[in-house]
Amino acid sequence: MALASAAVLWAVTIGIALQAWLGLHETANALSMIVFGLGTTVGPLLACVLVANIGYAWTYTVDVPTFAASLWALFTLFAGPYGQTCPLVSSVLA
């Protein structure tokens, strides 16, 4: 379930980027705020449902691979053309 929501989030992010490149900044901003609002609403709701149905241990077990996938996406997102990292990421990791 978390992987499906992550895939939807990535698809929406691609849509926002396309809209920004096409000059539709207002639409891209609105879509970004919708995704943020849904994430802050649906995320805790999903966590409550999981805790109620499968318990804390399994909920955190589900959270570990999704968090690892987020970290992997963060580090690969800022890869430069020659494998260099973004200066912002380098300064945070230093």
Residue range 31-44, pLDDT digits in tens = 777 777 787 788 88
Domain of residue 55, residue span: 2-93
Long-range contacts from 70-73, C-beta under 8 angstroms, 24+ separation: 70/6, 73/10
User: Which pLDDT tens digit goes with each residue over 5-27?
Assistant: 667 777 777 777 777 777 776 66
Half-sphere exposure of 41 (CA within 13 A, CB side): 6
Give the whole-angstrom CA distance, residue 62 versus residue 12. Answer: 23
Is residue 59 predicted with pLDDT exceeding 60?
Answer: yes
Q: What is the pLDDT of residue 53?
A: 94
Count of domains for the chain = 1
Q: What is the pLDDT of residue 86?
A: 58
For range 48-57, the mean pLDDT: 90
- For the record, the structure tokens of 52 come out as 């109620």
